[in-house]
Structure 1
């Protein structure tokens, strides 16, 4: 692959997609030039200021307003407000010549071929030879955009379809033309994966590419099924949500979020451009959707769609559902189905699919009516939209949030066992004939009974051309615990599995609910360190679940506190603290690999690891204030230690203490890995960010090996932590008192704040003093236990356990 570097990107078009693509490139440290059109008319406010159409503020108004809107949006497109400085704005008239210095030019203007061609006319004038040019289109054929362009332009031109929002959705489709150099395709596949953190999927230049072709087919097929099966909006969303391995927004809520107009535009595009598709009738919209569009019931953007949020008679917010027969809104019905209940206790998604498919109620019937035509449809799309079927699964997981792609679900149900059922299923959806593509029959006839199989920890797919299994390209750098656990498990209990990752590195994987930390997890961590110190070189703490860890098992704490078993509670907290300390002071390097939620104890364990290799999307924080206590697993001690180290760097002591105190006191949770550092949960030089979640464990293993090979030495516990004593307590108590007086915090919040201040200041020492970590841990544990004896703390814990939400009492 050519040694190509991307230091500057030009994004042409600053709409919803363009501005957010610009933000994501800034997230990874690239300089961005963001351009858009020059306004033709002045706004009244601009006239009042005496501005003209030649004023720079006016000429850059469109791009600046778009970027400002993006940055203010929720969820944020940027890892930190600081990265915005990497984005420079301009307009097509004044700044197009500046694209000459760009390494990659991305066109993201309106979805009209004539306008895109006009933009590319300008690009041809100014781009330097060899510069990448890509178009972020969701439907316009890529080869049409390349027509009439120079040979160098064509050789370096490709489609790059980001899914919205680009920061969060992992799918990036790469769509080359017949003229695109192979080295350019290879580079984009690699860059998207490693640098942008995407699942890069190679697509053919066919209508809607892969993600939207299959995703929109699936969604629209459901809209036809609803009428035939007599299902309600709520039932469909319940059936197609997490129980099926799909996002919580399921089907109709997703349509409301995306916008019905967007869905209709893609459907119309498919109806126009995929006329030879045997299921083209699916892209003809049901009458109720046509009526909704006519009424401009487009979803959240218009205030109502399949759901409508209102204020009820009591003044409370209530979400109504649309009755698809009458097109009137009504109260939502509670959805119950025996099949859904049967799936609840099945954590393994593949086993859950079998339970779902065997259901005898309407949930089971719906599952079969949805999936059997889908299996038939995706098999027929090979080789039309892709030569390798695994790319369809990749696109549906990364672009639509499915836990399993359609071929993976088919595998879970049994490929051969399902064939007859597909044929027998009632033909409710246009194009469903019951006839599966020949290549599937050929696969089974050749003795291969599954689309995928695992060999030596590597996932292989059935290659249609060679009629054999091949490793999925690009996954050799992944460590997937599901693929190695059966052969590489060293030890396990009900909360932890310890796996040999090879090269002398162990992995400790939590598998409790939300990966909360209780006795079994504590035992498992100590066992992992024991094993690593005896026979291995290092330890990684990570998993392939939905979250790293939501923190301590507060249910266990609640029971001990309610029963006033303070000796047992003291032992439990001390054991937790000792575990955090052992992570730091073991004889082998420990690397934590957090992602998604890393809260409370999950954050504390990360803070005590030798190194933190975290995913870019890590939401880390010490949130114990929300349940009426202070961090008790070493987190309060650790913030006092880090504040002390900052004192030594000559910082203003009071400000350092205040910042650290407020991070815990306000239960601040980072919105990204970058912000986790800004909040003080990560230390400079002791963390690194993996952009691609699939590479996190492999990156963490590589870091553990690096630390071991560098000659890791067991650290010595600190005894030189400077605490401020009464000098700091005065600051803390005065601040808490003024916040209470202003009704910003409750009386109990004030008490918790003062307890935290007591720990971080080392108690009421008469002057700044150096103390040990153990001294601070003892104070931390004492404060934690005293707060567990407070009625209002128990109320907070109980409220969190029953509602999942914090109580401010």
Structure 2
């Protein structure tokens, strides 16, 4: 396969999806031209320019760093159409109208380069029909590429070929989308709404139909169909409100218009309650009301019977809640046999989806794996529907579904296909097995894609039942393992030279036992390996990709020492934490932090002390100890002082100017700022320009190992211990405190906030010494440790800690 060298991408259409696709390409450092119609008034590029400005204000943020909006080049079809020839990929993302798309294609086709890939971002229109009118060469380079909204955060991209699309075009685009853009690619057949929306929207329609049948409230259904089922917290009706009820109606209409011969056609009728809300202009979150409406601080829910909004609070019955905690087979059996309407409802929605995917697998997807991954990545389910069916006992569940179909309880009378009950699937006990996943169209189990890009994924997204998948908790050779962490090596040929450390604590927090184990792993690495990578298997949990890397020090584990010895009793733990960070920094082999998700407090500090950082784009980094009334004490402030001294020395700044090199680090810690991305972590100074940012979380471990190996090959030596660090001293502390006084007196911060921020200033500026005084790391660490212990002895900090442990939320006192 030849490499696809993508120098520039054109996105046609500066609407919601087009602009956000452009933004995420910029995150990935891909130059983008964003096209739209020429404006009738003002600058010709006004439509694209306005879209770019709007991107800066959106939440969740489409850009990793807002200022990167400047890198999108606005364009219009009148003045700039010849620039399409410069682009290696052209993505059309205008409104879902076949006639509008065809009109645009006639305009742009002559200008698309002879080797460029042309793709349409559509959520359900026929790709083959869209390609009508192309010449043979362009048709061979045309396909569908369906991003999910919002494109930065949703892992799924569906890739849809026509019968004319060249296979190598799909392979090149899949490789680019996987590694550069960071997506999970599923290849879908050219059928209405493809895979994820086809199954996902049917699932929502089934929920609405069964909720009506069993007389359940919308908030009751959301409590039943969200986190309790391992699905998105927004569940069903809240998700519909967020997506937009008009959008939901449009997607349903696509199914009505294009699936008239479908045996489930009757189920595609627009629910009366949805049609009624859209008719009233109640379109969900964007209009302020839909299935839910906010009145003051109260969230009201629509009563389907009266059409009025009533107080929320509908919940799962305690009995049903207990059933949902049972193992899969027992759970489905109990739901089916329990007469409670909530239980009957849940069995019914499981049955409806199993029935649907069984009937439609052959027509919508190449194999069952693609259905499961599309639903997991596109709709945020922890397990796909085929996985759930197989885990609950394939044959028994199939018999139950058949009984309900025969009894007229299902949403269609279409029988399950024969392959469900006999042959290879029945013998295997389901659709996922050692040979791959079942393809109903080919009547065989098909293995995973072997594109070279997937060699970078040590652990690919695993499916339950797919017994050939590697388990990150057991794969490789374990060097040692205890309750705190596992130290191991990838024992494949040529991969066994790096020690990998994976934590096992809740939220990957670090207590005394884990710190001792980390030091032991470094000792082992120094004795015969090329480096250490700290990487957490939790990075691979998708749905939502990433993390946590580490939520910091384990306060709960330190509480017994506090109870016995008061604030002073904690000091040995803080000293151990600091010593461990220094052990990481001065190890004789490179320690590389492979960061994804949250890296907070001590999690940020271990990252700062590592030889190098490899961070997934969705990394949220910060020193947040202020939230529990403390200061960072694992060397984070010490590292800020060191970096400020280095930066000042690089430009020959005087000691009196040190404060301006410290200001950003002080504010980050004093305001507990957390980066909104790895790109922002770099702008905040938590990542260095030389650190690596990866876009696909599944490539994080492989990239980190390669970085450790490269450092070793270059003759890695740890930094020399700094013994003469110039600090900003008491004059800088006074300057900071003066601004803090104004904030306190203006009641922007509390008295206790003032105290904490003052102690941060003292630590980061080197204490009560003259500006330019030379200190060592031990001095700075002592300042951190002393401030930490002193604050821990105050009542208000103790209140903050207890509040955080009990509620998970910061207390402002």
In structure 1, the gaps of 5 or more residues are 41-52, 312-316
Per the alignment, residue 281 of structure 1 pairs with 266
Distance 1:252 1:32, change over 3 A: same
Cα distance in structure 1, aligned partners of 2:773 and 2:643: 15
Provide TM-score, normalisation by structure 2. Answer: 0.91
Q: Residue 473 of structure 2 contacts residue 537 of structure 2 at CA under 8 Å; is this kept in 1?
A: no
Please report how far the alpha carbon of residue 527 of structure 1 lies from its aligned counterpart in structure 2 after TM superposition: 3.5
Cα distance in structure 2, aligned partners of 1:198 and 1:125: 30
- Of 236, 247, 263, 1:262 maps to 247
Paired residues for 1:677-756 under 5 Å: 677-685=682-690, 687-756=691-760
- Of 360, 377, 381, 1:402 maps to 381
Q: Residue 97 of structure 1 contacts residue 126 of structure 1 at CA under 8 Å; is this kept in 2?
A: yes
Cα distance in structure 1, aligned partners of 2:159 and 2:59: 27
Cα distance in structure 2, aligned partners of 1:527 and 1:381: 53
Distance 1:300 1:661, change over 3 A: same
Per the alignment, residue 470 of structure 1 pairs with 447
Per the alignment, residue 387 of structure 1 pairs with 366
RMSD between aligned alpha carbons? Answer: 2.4
Please report how far the alpha carbon of residue 550 of structure 1 lies from its aligned counterpart in structure 2 after TM superposition: 2.0
Name the SS of the counterpart of 1:301 in structure 2.
Answer: coil
Q: Residue 584 of structure 2 contacts residue 610 of structure 2 at CA under 8 Å; is this kept in 1?
A: yes
Q: Residue 493 of structure 1 contacts residue 520 of structure 1 at CA under 8 Å; is this kept in 2?
A: no
Q: Does 1:430 align with 2:411?
A: yes
Distance 1:242 1:340, change over 3 A: farther
Per the alignment, residue 544 of structure 1 pairs with 537
Please report how far the alpha carbon of residue 371 of structure 1 lies from its aligned counterpart in structure 2 after TM superposition: 1.6
Name the SS of the counterpart of 2:55 in structure 1.
Answer: helix
- Of 510, 520, 524, 2:517 maps to 524
Q: Residue 308 of structure 1 contacts residue 321 of structure 1 at CA under 8 Å; is this kept in 2?
A: yes
Q: Residue 60 of structure 1 contacts residue 91 of structure 1 at CA under 8 Å; is this kept in 2?
A: yes
Q: Residue 376 of structure 1 contacts residue 432 of structure 1 at CA under 8 Å; is this kept in 2?
A: no
CA offsets per residue over residues 385-438 of structure 1, 9 Å max, x none? 1222211111111111111111221222122232222223465442265x4332
Distance 1:462 1:498, change over 3 A: farther
Cα distance in structure 1, aligned partners of 2:320 and 2:643: 48
Provide TM-score, normalisation by structure 1. Answer: 0.91
Name the SS of the counterpart of 1:302 in structure 2.
Answer: coil
Per the alignment, residue 419 of structure 2 pairs with 439
Cα distance in structure 2, aligned partners of 1:702 and 1:462: 35
Per the alignment, residue 618 of structure 2 pairs with 617
Which segment is superposed worse, 180-189 or 353-362? 353-362
Q: Residue 368 of structure 2 contacts residue 432 of structure 2 at CA under 8 Å; is this kept in 1?
A: no
Distance 1:648 1:407, change over 3 A: same
Cα distance in structure 1, aligned partners of 2:777 and 2:321: 49
Q: Does 1:129 align with 2:106?
A: no
Per the alignment, residue 350 of structure 2 pairs with 371
Name the SS of the counterpart of 1:293 in structure 2.
Answer: helix
Per the alignment, residue 452 of structure 1 pairs with 432
Name the SS of the counterpart of 2:163 in structure 1.
Answer: coil
Please report how far the alpha carbon of residue 205 of structure 1 lies from its aligned counterpart in structure 2 after TM superposition: 0.9
Per the alignment, residue 37 of structure 1 pairs with 37
Paired residues for 1:463-542 under 5 Å: 465=442, 467-468=444-445, 470-471=447-448, 473-474=450-451, 475-480=454-459, 483-486=471-474, 488=476, 489-502=478-491, 503-542=496-535
Name the SS of the counterpart of 1:595 in structure 2.
Answer: strand
Q: Residue 188 of structure 2 contacts residue 366 of structure 2 at CA under 8 Å; is this kept in 1?
A: no
Q: Residue 193 of structure 2 contacts residue 255 of structure 2 at CA under 8 Å; is this kept in 1?
A: yes
Paired residues for 1:67-146 under 5 Å: 67-146=52-131
Per the alignment, residue 798 of structure 2 pairs with 794
Distance 1:782 1:245, change over 3 A: same
Distance 1:274 1:469, change over 3 A: closer
Cα distance in structure 2, aligned partners of 1:353 and 1:476: 35
Please report how far the alpha carbon of residue 521 of structure 1 lies from its aligned counterpart in structure 2 after TM superposition: 3.0
Distance 1:629 1:427, change over 3 A: farther
CA offsets per residue over residues 434-463 of structure 1, 9 Å max, x none? x433233345567322433469xxxx4345
Q: Does 1:461 align with 2:461?
A: no
Q: Does 1:212 align with 2:193?
A: no
Per the alignment, residue 311 of structure 2 pairs with 331
Q: Residue 562 of structure 1 contacts residue 794 of structure 1 at CA under 8 Å; is this kept in 2?
A: no
CA offsets per residue over residues 150-209 of structure 1, 9 Å max, x none? 222112111111111111111111111122111111111111101110111111111001
Name the SS of the counterpart of 2:533 in structure 1.
Answer: strand
Name the SS of the counterpart of 1:97 in structure 2.
Answer: helix
Please report how far the alpha carbon of residue 468 of structure 1 lies from its aligned counterpart in structure 2 after TM superposition: 4.7
CA offsets per residue over residues 525-575 of structure 1, 9 Å max, x none? 233323333454332222232522222233345665466523430111111
Paired residues for 1:640-655 under 5 Å: 640-650=641-651, 652-655=657-660
Per the alignment, residue 640 of structure 2 pairs with 639
Distance 1:452 1:577, change over 3 A: farther
Please report how far the alpha carbon of residue 91 of structure 1 lies from its aligned counterpart in structure 2 after TM superposition: 2.1
Name the SS of the counterpart of 1:93 in structure 2.
Answer: coil
Q: Residue 260 of structure 1 contacts residue 298 of structure 1 at CA under 8 Å; is this kept in 2?
A: yes
Cα distance in structure 2, aligned partners of 1:27 and 1:39: 27
Cα distance in structure 2, aligned partners of 1:799 and 1:15: 44
